[in-house]
Chains A and B, each alone.
Chain A
Amino acid sequence: MQGHLLQRLFTGIPTLFLTLFFALPLGALVMVSFWRTENYHLIREWSLMNYHTLLVESAYSTFLIRSLVMAFAVSIFLVAISWPIAYFIVRSGGRYKLLLSLLFAVPFLSGEVLRLISLQGLLGPVGLVNGLMVELGGAPLRFIMYTNVATFIGLVYIYLPIVVTVIYLSIGNFDFRLVQVASIFGASPTRAFYEIVWPLNLSGTIIGFLLSFIPCLSASLAPRFLGGPDGTLYGMSMSQQFGESGTWALGAAMGVALFLLSLLLLIGCCLFVDLRRTGFTGMGRA
């Protein structure tokens, strides 16, 4: 059957690629997590030691919980701020809609390191904000650098573009005539938002949330350069396992834990969200 063959050919290539370079590495990671490291060498002895360490040593659970809280706070904040932004651009942007949304997306392309550099320039002890304070005769603000607040600001800064873009795409494809219909049938503007606009954009909102939550959970650079001594986050600690401490197996175990957590979250969202109730009518064209 020619159709079947074509399917195999076209979807097969990417599938093969992903399997080799995505699934397989993850598998390798799982394998490594069961081994252990000694003196910067990986010893292929199977054991659950790493997982045991993770569960037992309180530092790691602290990191994890701190990361969860931080990621959650950042993501909720991002969704909350992206909605008004995206809504405004879609409704009042006119022919500049695309430009306005791209202007939000562009900073994302500078890469994390450079953006953190920029942010440091802004928030740092000798950066813009503090310099301004000094010029104006005040004292530099202590709390905006090397604290959790700074990490929060940094993460918001890094992931704002992506959440705005995702929610913009969702609202941009929303048929606002349905709001007019709702208002004819008696819904006040607030009610119409709650009953019509929000549910039909829920899948976009959730995707935006996840696209910031999951990377935030594993953030390593932002907490390192902006956070304080008590601000070590999970991702940061994980990267240290591969860097300074050379305990790769433990790092791998942390990675696997992170992966499982992300998976759990994704599955949870899928189960929790009934696609029907968010107006998803299938992959085909209407």
Chain B
Amino acid sequence: MTVSLRHRLTKYGLLGIVLASYAFLYLPIVHITLAAFSKNSNFPYPPIWSVASFFRLASNTVYQGALLNSLLIGVATGVLSTIIAMYAAIGVIRYAGRRALLFALFFSAPLFIAEILLGISTMALYFVLFDMSGNLVAAILANTVHCFSFAFLIVGAQLYRHDWRMGEAAFVLGAGPIRTFFEVTLPLVWPSLLGAFLVSFIMSFNNLDISFYVLGATPTLPSVAWGALRYGVKPELFALATAVNGVIALLMGLMFALMRTGMMKFGYRPERE
């Protein structure tokens, strides 16, 4: 039966491509994770287990300072992006009417502008016009512009599916707008807000292109890593990358657990199957 044979061949072919892509994406990560945990970091097969690089990493004060700065940037950007994205999403979906598409395009615009442009243009603004040197706040604001677009899409995607009539029902039953928001809307849409926060945090935490130009001398983890990369110091870098990946994996695991317990759907609609 050639029809089903063709189907099966196609399916296995596609599966092959998918598996190869996963391998391509994750092999480097696996490699450096092994390298981070071994003495023979350049070719850890088989690995000689040791956590020496992690200890060296932890005791390195430059990295410590950089970590703090990165965390600061991450949290601040996350919070700011999520809040502004929430306003944007509600505005576009509920109140923009005819100009909804226009606003949506404007809010998505930063996605299509190279990150590096954001960095250098912000630097141009501060340094040139205000004669200020780069600082943390500038980095936060610049990162927020970039992450805001992502956050806008994430929050917007869930709000689009939100049934606003529940809010109207709440009005009819006597709740004011703020009360309605906190008791009716927020409990339903918080997953996307959390997702937006996490994505913004992670992206700005790891960001180099934007932060680099606006920070001046303030070190962040990526910029220190970049510096070390230029000078070829490897093992600590591997440990650093592994640590960051570990945290990300944890956060993703958190999101996944939320999904499994049904709290977040991210658009999975089983009835469509």
Residue A225, interface by CB 8 Å: yes
* Docked complex Cα distance between A217 and B120 (Å): 15
Q: A122-B28, A218-B116 are in contact. Are A113 and B208 (CB under 8 A)?
A: yes
Residue A251, interface by CB 8 Å: yes
**A106, A251, A258, most chain B CB atoms within 10 A:** A106
Task: Contact check, B237 vs A117: say whether CB atoms are below 8 A apart.
Answer: yes
Q: Smallest CB–CB gap between B139 and chain A, Å?
A: 11
Q: Name the A residues within 8 Å of B84 (CB-CB).
A: 13-14, 17
Q: Name the A residues within 8 Å of B35 (CB-CB).
A: 121
The segment from B54-62, B91-99, B166-174, B182-190 that touches chain A is B91-99
Q: Smallest CB–CB gap between B159 and chain A, Å?
A: 12
Q: Which residues of B from 75 to 94 have beta carbons under 8 Å from A?
A: 84-85, 87-88, 90-92, 94
Interface SS of chain A: helix, strand, loop or mixed? Answer: helix
Task: Contact check, A98 vs B206: say whether CB atoms are below 8 A apart.
Answer: no
Residue A85, interface by CB 8 Å: yes
Task: Contact check, A121 vs B31: say whether CB atoms are below 8 A apart.
Answer: yes
* Docked complex Cα distance between A98 and B35 (Å): 30
Q: Name the A residues within 8 Å of B13 (CB-CB).
A: 84
* Docked complex Cα distance between A189 and B107 (Å): 38
| Cβ-neighbour of A109 out of B92, B103, B248 (below 8 A) | B248
* Docked complex Cα distance between A215 and B117 (Å): 10
| Cβ-neighbour of B87 out of A10, A127, A225 (below 8 A) | A10
Q: Name the B residues within 8 Å of A119 (CB-CB).
A: 28
Task: Contact check, B116 vs A31: say whether CB atoms are below 8 A apart.
Answer: no
A103: nearest chain-B partner, CB-CB:
B22
Residue A56, interface by CB 8 Å: no
Residue B202, interface by CB 8 Å: yes
Task: Contact check, B15 vs A88: say whether CB atoms are below 8 A apart.
Answer: yes
* Docked complex Cα distance between A164 and B17 (Å): 13
Interface SS of chain B: helix, strand, loop or mixed? Answer: helix
Residue A89, interface by CB 8 Å: yes
B251: nearest chain-A partner, CB-CB:
A109
Task: Contact check, A31 vs B128: say whether CB atoms are below 8 A apart.
Answer: yes
Residue B205, interface by CB 8 Å: yes
Task: Contact check, B17 vs A14: say whether CB atoms are below 8 A apart.
Answer: no
| Cβ-neighbour of B120 out of A29, A42, A126 (below 8 A) | A29
Q: Smallest CB–CB gap between B93 and chain A, Å?
A: 8
Task: Contact check, A255 vs B122: say whether CB atoms are below 8 A apart.
Answer: no
Q: A85-B18, A111-B207 are in contact. Are A18 and B107 (CB under 8 A)?
A: yes
| Cβ-neighbour of A252 out of B32, B124, B152 (below 8 A) | B124
| Cβ-neighbour of A18 out of B32, B110, B208 (below 8 A) | B110
The segment from A47-55, A57-65, A234-242 that touches chain B is A234-242
The segment from A19-27, A142-150, A195-203 that touches chain B is A19-27
Residue B51, interface by CB 8 Å: no
Q: Name the B residues within 8 Å of A131 (CB-CB).
A: 42-43, 45
**B107, B121, B128, most chain A CB atoms within 10 A:** B121
Q: A117-B229, A157-B24 are in contact. Are A111 and B17 (CB under 8 A)?
A: no
B25: nearest chain-A partner, CB-CB:
A107
B266: nearest chain-A partner, CB-CB:
A98
A89: nearest chain-B partner, CB-CB:
B18
**A25, A95, A210, most chain B CB atoms within 10 A:** A25
Residue B132, interface by CB 8 Å: no
Task: Contact check, A113 vs B114: say whether CB atoms are below 8 A apart.
Answer: no
Task: Contact check, A114 vs B241: say whether CB atoms are below 8 A apart.
Answer: yes
Task: Contact check, A121 vs B268: say whether CB atoms are below 8 A apart.
Answer: no
Q: Smallest CB–CB gap between B191 and chain A, Å?
A: 13
Residue B100, interface by CB 8 Å: yes
Given A7-B97, A160-B24, 6 more pairs with CB closer than 8 A: A17-B148, A18-B110, A21-B122, A26-B117, A135-B45, A214-B114
3 smallest CB-CB distances across A and B, nearest first, come from A111-B206, A10-B91, A218-B114
Of the A-B pairs whose beta carbons lie under 8 Å apart in the complex, a sample of 11, sorted by A's number, is A17-B145, A22-B118, A28-B124, A29-B125, A99-B256, A110-B248, A115-B28, A118-B241, A122-B27, A252-B124, A258-B114
A binding-site residues for B, Cβ under 8 Å: 3, 6-7, 9-15, 17-18, 21-22, 24-29, 31-32, 42, 81, 84-85, 87-89, 92, 94-95, 97-100, 102-104, 106-107, 109-122, 126-128, 131, 135, 157, 160-161, 164, 172, 210-211, 214-215, 217-218, 220-221, 225, 235, 238-239, 242, 248, 251-252, 255, 258-259, 262, 266, 283, 285
